[in-house]
Amino acid sequence: DTGVSQNPRHKITKRGQNVTFRCDPISEHNRLYWYRQTLGQGPEFLTYFQNEAQLEKSRLLSDRFSAERPKGSFSTLEIQRTEQGDSAMYLCASSSNGQGAWEQYFGPGTRLTVT
Amino acid sequence: AQRVTQPEKLLSVFKGAPVELKCNYSYSGSPELFWYVQYSRQRLQLLLRHISRESIKGFTADLNKGETSFHLKKPFAQEEDSAMYYCALHNAGNMLTFGGGTRLMVKP
């Protein structure tokens, strides 16, 4: 499967715990995006990387949220001190640079449940 | 600020009937608009892009800058069109702003 992959697919955690999600983009894509989707809503942009540089992070929901892409390949999204309101689907997408940059390919998502 | 509105959460039609899924946007620049689709148990995928002006799976969408709309249309709905449809706006900052989505149900 050469598409975007995300792990884990499901995560149940207790309030106050930290969680980390991983995204592996399509191999030749140098742009990577994180979105959050709550029930009944469309995806909401969180942050994006071009290679290892995080070019937009003002939309991260709070300082409890952080993302990294240390080698310009896979990325991680961490939520510290989780709250029940963090329960959502977290989506990752990737795109190429240049002319193909407009088309984002989405992963299957990680569903987070905070109890 | 940019915003995408899909006024209908659910649209239910019979097979063979015409379909129109509404999308309105607000954006101060020159908009680049898309429709994404999510079939049951599948990931979100691009359906069409306004610049390409293609017809994909019988769907078309025309950008109307005067009405700030980008409605998705299909003359004859098929059962396999049943899915969640999201209108999205792409800005210069490379982020997509999505509408809330419309669930299309095509009944036999």
Say how far apart CA B12 and CA B85 lie, in whole Å. Answer: 13
pLDDT at B42: 93
| Residues A26-73 pLDDT 10s | 998 999 999 999 998 999 999 999 999 888 887 788 899 999 998 889
Q: pLDDT band at A96, cuts 50/70/90?
A: confident
pLDDT at A94: 94
**Which residues contact residue B40 at a Cβ distance below 8 angstroms, ignoring those fewer than 6 apart?**
B82, B83
For residue A98, give both structure tokens.
């240049």
Say how far apart CA A7 and CA A11 lie, in whole Å. Answer: 9
A111 vs A56, residue with greater confidence: A111
| Residues A70-84 pLDDT 10s | 888 999 999 999 999
Residue B27's closest CA among B64, B2, B63, B62?
A: B2
Beta-carbon pairs below 8 A across chains A and B: 52
Mutate to test the interface with B, among A36, A56, A102 (most CBs of B within 10 A): A102
CB contact under 8 A, B32 and A102: yes
Sign of the four-CA dihedral B13, B15, B20, B21: positive
A34 touches chain B (CB under 8 A): no
pLDDT at A72: 84
Say how far apart CA B24 and CA B31 lie, in whole Å. Answer: 11
pLDDT at A12: 98
Task: State in Å, rounded, how far the first CA of chain A is from the last one.
Answer: 33
Regions of chain B with pLDDT less than 50: none
- Min Cα–Cα distance to chain B from A72, Å: 17
Q: pLDDT band at A1, cuts 50/70/90?
A: low
Say how far apart CA A106 and CA B67 lie, in whole Å. Answer: 30
